[in-house]
């Protein structure tokens, strides 16, 4: 299991003892075998993986690379491939784990490329990644020089996939906790940079989400917010009647001007849009490592500018904002 003591010490030094007291119980509850029928199998597969055997790693390239193909013999590589496939579906990446290339559903590196040159340098910063999935961007943050990276994601498979990668890598100041943002105590205020990418539109109260993000930041800290948006003026918001791109849990898609106004109302300053991009079927797609339907099946087959429900196809914006 992961040694969380370094995380606890950093949070304690920053006067976040209230959260430190909660984390062990939060982890225990998330890994309760009675609450997830797949958990026992995942944990068994995780336990069988070799630990900390990577001699070479590369965290600052598109493909997060841990270990080399030459470090394993043919049988070891075949065994590792089978073990990694047991954690299907893999949604965020790409990864190269001892020569095994995990071609994930999302080309998450494209999103990183859009923001990397615009954000404040992460060197020696304490970073929070909300809704981090299996932690791909967390590794990129560590590769960019972050002092420590904490990811939070309530989906157990995502957390276990992260633990798979971290076990192969070895000890590092990077953690993914099996919780949602709302489980971090209010006004923790310890992080220099907070990322929320692909989360806001899943929140029934986007303003509460922005305030929760604000509560995690130190004074003058930076928020990196990425979410679905629509074309439009200030005040314009799309709220799907039912599903959006076959997703049930999509609530609000604001215009960029509306989103800026929300951030300013919540007390953020220096709010600016750094990128707006249409999500393509090359960026999100089915692969051998994620064999379910993906974006191609979520769009109108005759008009790729529309979802299958007839709504505007996914367009994503990245906004930076600061605390005073």
Helix (H, G, I), strand (E, B) or coil at 58: strand
| pLDDT score, position 97 | 97
Distance CA(23)–CA(188), nearest Å, equals 13
Estimate to the nearest angstrom the gap between the alpha carbon of 81 and the chain centroid: 24
Place of tokens 């599903």: 243
Distance CA(297)–CA(89), nearest Å, equals 17
| pLDDT score, position 35 | 84
Q: Six-digit token pair at 136?
A: 């791909």
Selection from 267, 263, 191, 186 nearest residue 227 by Cα: 263
pLDDT single digits (tens) 53-111: 788 999 999 999 999 999 999 999 999 999 999 999 999 999 999 999 999 999 999 99
**321 neighbors 266 (Cβ within 8 angstroms):** no
Distance CA(19)–CA(107), nearest Å, equals 33
The values of phi and psi at residue 99, to 5°, are: 85, -5
Residues 161-181 as b/e (b if ≥16 CB within 10 A, e otherwise) read bbbbbbbbbeebebbbbbbbb
CA end-to-end distance (rounded Å), the chain: 39
The values of phi and psi at residue 227, to 5°, are: -160, 165
Q: Six-digit token pair at 225?
A: 């917010």
Angle between the 156-169 and 39-47 helix axes, to the nearest 10 degrees?
A: 0
Q: What share of the chain is helix, strand, coil (3-state, %, to 5)?
A: 35, 25, 40
| pLDDT score, position 142 | 98
List of residues 6+ apart from 1 with CB closer than 8 A: none
| pLDDT score, position 34 | 85
Counted residue by residue, the chain has a size of 324
- CA dihedral in degrees (131, 25, 204, 304; nearest 10)? 30
Q: Which domains does the chain have, with CATH numbers?
A: 5-322 (3.40.50.150)
Distance CA(196)–CA(318), nearest Å, equals 10
Distance CA(217)–CA(130), nearest Å, equals 12
| pLDDT score, position 2 | 86
pLDDT < 50: residue spans in the chain? none
Query: pTM of the entire structure?
Result: 0.97
Q: Six-digit token pair at 95?
A: 């990864």
């Amino acid at each position: 299991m992961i040694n969380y003591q370094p995380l606890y010490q950093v949070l304690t030094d920053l006067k976040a003892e209230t959260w430190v007291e909660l984390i062990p119980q939060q982890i225990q509850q998330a890994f309760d075998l009675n609450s997830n029928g797949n958990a026992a199998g995942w944990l068994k597969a995780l336990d069988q993986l070799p630990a900390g055997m990577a001699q070479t790693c590369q965290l600052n390239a598109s493909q997060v690379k841990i270990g080399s193909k030459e470090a394993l013999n043919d049988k070891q590589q075949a065994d590792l491939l089978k073990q990694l496939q047991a954690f299907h579906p893999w949604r965020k990446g790409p990864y190269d784990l001892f020569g095994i290339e995990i071609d994930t559903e999302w080309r998450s590196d494209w999103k990183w490329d859009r923001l990397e040159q615009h954000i404040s340098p992460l060197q020696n910063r304490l970073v929070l990644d909300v809704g981090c999935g299996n932690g791909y961007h967390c590794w990129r943050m560590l590769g960019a020089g972050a002092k420590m990276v904490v990811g939070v994601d309530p989906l157990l498979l995502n957390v276990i996939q992260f633990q798979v990668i971290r076990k192969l890598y070895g000890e590092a100041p990077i953690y993914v906790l099996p919780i949602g943002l709302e489980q971090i105590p209010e006004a923790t205020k310890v992080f220099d940079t907070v990322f929320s990418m692909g989360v806001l539109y899943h929140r029934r109260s986007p303003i509460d989400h922005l305030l929760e993000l604000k509560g995690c930041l130190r004074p003058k800290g930076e928020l990196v917010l990425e979410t679905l948006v629509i074309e439009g003026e200030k005040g314009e918001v799309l709220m799907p009647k039912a599903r959006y791109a076959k997703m049930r849990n999509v609530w609000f898609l604001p215009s960029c001007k509306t989103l800026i106004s929300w951030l300013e109302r919540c007390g953020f300053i220096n709010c600016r849009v750094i990128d707006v991009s249409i999500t393509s079927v090359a960026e999100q797609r089915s692969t051998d490592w994620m064999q379910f339907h993906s974006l191609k099946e979520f769009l109108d087959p005759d008009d790729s500018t529309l979802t299958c429900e007839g709504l505007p196809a996914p367009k994503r914006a990245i906004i930076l904002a600061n605390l005073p």
